[in-house]
Every structure is written in structure tokens, then in C-alpha cells.
Structure 1
């Protein structure tokens, strides 16, 4: 089974890039499942620097043939978060409050292929998250014999790598997201779990993690949302970042990690 996983899609430029690149990659790799981290898909409250997913952008993702969308620390930012997280093919961090909207795992089926997609958040990314290790342990007690892909949304390489080794052989892959900066450590661990610390992003290359730097730099200086500025995605050249997994019997047989500069398609008039 082949799985194509894309790192954080940032804003409308990221959606444009994915719309351009995904059909090409589908023809090249013929994946059974496509999974996308979409927690930066939209700027939801620009004056406060809040991101998340808008229902309209989410529909655009699924129109491209995406099978599941994962989240992270921005999953709960939008005013319409409950609507978005209620979508059947959207997951948010499993280790967040059980009273929060949404779910932390999703079983995908196509023909005789099955994949369980799990979203976890590190406390370095989401301060009020629970213990990701305990959350994953509890989930694994309910699922046996199904390949499991974990999107671990965390700032900490130590946290991501530690969890991957802890569950090596029990999950098919632990793929890191959140920093929007690619790491060069893609590999298969000794018992068969594919791992990379951070996949990177899909979005505008000339910016601050896919965003125009003005708002974020001033917020760093002030430690407050800056007045008169609004968070907005970066333009410039585009970047597409993804992992291709080859899975067999619940474990990984191959992992390919690529992050490339591409042309940024023009915006619709």
C-alpha cells in the first residue's frame, strides 16, 4: 500500500500549489491514500494571527481527491471550528480534551486496503494537550492488524523521535509536522516504523513559515498581536513537501521524503 502525506498546507497559495502538484504526483506514485495536514489552510482571525480551516477551503481539498485532513495547534482557532472538526474526514489531536469537538483518529478504506490515520499534538505546540504517549497507547489497545499513520504535530524533535521509537513496530509511520522546516532524517526504524521529524510545508517559499513576515516579526517584538497589521500568507516561489510511504502488513517497507521549490500558480481573478 502506498500513502502520500503532505506537510502543513499554508493558506490559499498552499492550496493553489497542491491543486497544481497533486494530480502530477498521483500519476507518478499511484497512492492508495492521500493525507494532508490542513491546520494552516486559512487565516481565520487575521488581526490575532489565528489560522485553521474554513469549510470552503476544506471542500476544495476534498475536491482534489484528498482522503483525510489532519490538524494541530490551530485546529480549534476558527469561530467555525466545531463545523470543520465535525467533518467525517477531518481529525484533530487525539490527546486533546474529550469534550472538544472532533475526533483524533479516522479509519480509511478503499477496496481491500485500510489505513488508520491518527493526529497527535506535542505540548510544545499545544499547551493544553494531554500526554500523547498515553493517548496512543489507549488507541492501540482498540486496534490490531491495521496499518497506522501518526501525524505528530510538535515543536520538539526529541518528543517526536521518542514516541516513534517507543511505538516502533506498532505503528506504520510517525510523521512530524508543525515547524514547516524539513528535516533530513527520514528512515525506517529497526522494527518497521517509518519516521521523519518534520515533513515541511506546502505554501509560499519567501516568507516566515509560509506567511508574510511583517505581522509575525512585530508580534515577536511586542509579545502581542500588532495593531494595524494582519497575518497573511506569503507569495513568491512555491514549495511542496511530502512523504511517500510504502506499507506492508502494518509496517513500512519504504519512505521517500521530498521538499521542492515549484512555480506558484496565479491566483484566480
Structure 2
């Protein structure tokens, strides 16, 4: 089984980059499943610096061939969050709240190939979230024997790598998202779990994690959303970051990690 996973897609530049690259990668790599972290897909409340997904952007990616869009700390930001999280292809962190709208895992099927996709968030990114370890333990009790890919949305490498080793051999992959910066530590752990601390972003390079820096720098300084400024996508060349995985049964047998600026 082959899986193509893209890191945080940031705004309209990120969507355009994905529309440009995904058709080519699908032809060349022939993935069975395509997964995208979409929690920065749209700037949903620009004056407050809030991101998230809008229904029209979700549908653009579904038409492009994306099987599931994962979320993170921005999943509940949009005013229309409840409607978006009701989409059958959209996930939000499983360990956020059992009472939150939406779902945190999705079983994908194509022919005889099956993959359970799980979205977790670390407390470094979302302090009010529940314990990701306990949440994943409970889920795995229900899905023993099924290949499992976890999008772990977290600021902390310690948190992500620790969970990867804790569940090594019980899940097929744990891929980090959230920082928008691709790390160089992709590997397959001793018992067969593929791991990358952060896949990196799909968006405009040269800004502040895919955004123009003025709003975010002022917010960092004032500790409040700055008056008179709005969050905007960055300018500059487009970067695409993704991981390509091959699984044999539940174990990873190959991992490729790419983060590059498009010509």
C-alpha cells in the first residue's frame, strides 16, 4: 500500500501549489491514499489571525483526489467550523473533546486496501486537549490488525517522537505537523513505524510559516491581535512538503520525505 501525505497547506498559495503538484505526483507515485493537513487551508477571521478550513476549499482538494483532510489547533477557529467538520473527508483532533463537532479518525478503503487515519494534537499546540496517549490506546483496542497512520499536530519533537516509540509496531506511521518547518529525521523505527518530526508546509516560502509577518510579529509583541492589521498569506515562491510511504501489512517498508521550492 502506498500513501502520500502533505504537511500543513497554508492559504490560497498552498492550495495552488497542491493543484500544480498533486496530479504529477499521483501519476508518478501511484498512491492508494492521499492525505493533507488542512488546518491552515483558509484565513477564516483575518483580523483575529484565525485559520481553519472552508467548505469550498475542502471541495477543491477533494476534486483534486485528496482522500482525507486532517486538522489541528485551528480546527475550531472558523465561524462555520461545525459545518466543515461535518464533511465526511474532514478530521479534527481526536483527543480535543468527545463533545466537539466532527470526528478524529476515518477508515479509508480502496479495494482490498484499508488504512485508518487518526488526527491527534499535542498539548504543546492545544493545552486544553486530552491525553493523546490514552486516546490512541483506546482507539487501537478497537482496530487491532488495521494499518494506522497518525497525524500528530504538535510543537514538541519530544512529544511526537515519544509517542512514535511508545506505539512503534502498533501503528504504521506517525507524521508530525504544526511547525510548518520540514525536519530531516525521517526514519523507520525498529518495530516498523515510519516517523518524521514535521513534514513541513505547502505554501508561500519567505514569510512567517506561510504568512506575511506583519500581523504575527505585532501579535507576538503585543500579546493581542493587532488593531488595523489582518493576517495574509505570504508572498514568494511556492514550497511543497510531503512524505511518501509504502506499507507491507501494518509495517512501513519505505519512507521518502521531500520539501522543495517549485521552479
- Structure 2 counterpart of 1:221: 221
How much does 1:28 deviate?
1.0
How much does 1:93 deviate?
0.4
- Structure 1 counterpart of 2:200: 200
* 1:42 has 2:42 as partner: yes
- Structure 2 counterpart of 1:131: 131
Supply the distance in 2 between the matched residues of 1:209 and 1:120 (Cα, whole angstroms).
21
Supply the distance in 2 between the matched residues of 1:90 and 1:144 (Cα, whole angstroms).
23
How much does 1:235 deviate?
2.0
Supply the distance in 1 between the matched residues of 2:102 and 2:174 (Cα, whole angstroms).
21
How much does 1:155 deviate?
0.1
How much does 1:144 deviate?
1.6
- Structure 2 counterpart of 1:150: 150
SS of residue matched to 2:151:
strand
Supply the distance in 1 between the matched residues of 2:99 and 2:157 (Cα, whole angstroms).
28
* 1:10 has 2:15 as partner: no
How much does 1:89 deviate?
1.1
Residue-by-residue CA offset, 1:34-85 (whole Å, 9 max, x unaligned) = 0000000000000000000011111101010000000000000001000111
SS of residue matched to 1:162:
helix
Supply the distance in 2 between the matched residues of 1:235 and 1:87 (Cα, whole angstroms).
30
- Structure 1 counterpart of 2:185: 185
How much does 1:135 deviate?
0.2
Supply the distance in 1 between the matched residues of 2:132 and 2:74 (Cα, whole angstroms).
17
Task: Provide the alpha-carbon RMSD of the alignment.
Answer: 0.5
**Aligned residue runs from structure 1 range 75-90, under 5 A:** 75-90=75-90
- Structure 2 counterpart of 1:257: 257
Supply the distance in 2 between the matched residues of 1:37 and 1:173 (Cα, whole angstroms).
15
Supply the distance in 1 between the matched residues of 2:65 and 2:243 (Cα, whole angstroms).
17
Residue-by-residue CA offset, 1:184-205 (whole Å, 9 max, x unaligned) = 1000000000000000000000
- Structure 1 counterpart of 2:92: 92
Using the size of structure 2 for normalisation, the TM-score is: 0.99
How much does 1:145 deviate?
1.4
How much does 1:173 deviate?
0.1
- Structure 1 counterpart of 2:67: 67
- Structure 2 counterpart of 1:247: 247
Q: Give the number of aligned pairs.
A: 263
How much does 1:215 deviate?
0.3
Unaligned runs of 5+ in 2: none
SS of residue matched to 1:44:
coil
Instruction: Give every structure 1 segment of 4 or more consecutive aligned residues whose post-TM-superposition deviation is greater than 2 Å.
Output: none
Unaligned runs of 5+ in 1: 264-269
SS of residue matched to 1:52:
coil
Supply the distance in 2 between the matched residues of 1:62 and 1:243 (Cα, whole angstroms).
19
